[in-house]
Amino acid sequence: MTYMLFYTLLFFVIISGTGLYLTRSRWIPLLPVPDHIYHRLPSSFTGDLEAGLSSSHFDITANVADGDPRAGLDQRAKQEVQKIMKTRKVNFDEARRIYTEQRFARNNIGPDGRPRDPKFVSFS
């Protein structure tokens, strides 16, 4: 009797684990990620470059080569872009695009860069 219960429980654990593994792309982004993970991001252009926050379309190597003394990229933006890169498993350029579109949407701006305000008038 106990063997039957053990094997039944083992069967359900294996089936559930397989189901969770196969559907992980749907439920992993819903898990809360502690913000303290993203607080230790670099605060210089050299650190940003080493963290992978650069690409051929967004090149900060000139800043590093020129010895730019500024603090690097915006901390909040870096945190959001890093979070997007990890949760959606996309590269830096795609994460920047998603982040920009999200900021546009929060400010009532369309993905094409035009305001969504019905009173907006534009002359071309």
**pLDDT, average across residues 60-65:** 74
pLDDT, residue 35, reads 60
Buried b (16+ CB within 10 A) or exposed e, 41-67: bbebbebbbebebbeeeeebeebbeee
Is a pLDDT exceeding 90 seen at residue 13? yes
Domain locations along the chain: 1-31, 32-113
- pTM score, two decimals? 0.56
DSSP 43: -
**pLDDT, average across residues 86-103:** 89
pLDDT, residue 11, reads 95
Residue 17: pLDDT band by 50, 70, 90 thresholds?
A: very high
Q: What angle do CA 84, 90, 95 make, to 5 degrees?
A: 50
Return the amino acid letter for 11: F
Residue 76: pLDDT band by 50, 70, 90 thresholds?
A: confident
| Residues belonging to the chain | 124
Distance CA 22, CA 87 (A): 16
Per the model's pLDDT, the better-predicted residue between 69 and 2 turns out to be 2
pLDDT, residue 42, reads 57
**pLDDT, average across residues 23-41:** 71
**pLDDT, average across residues 10-39:** 82
DSSP 56: S
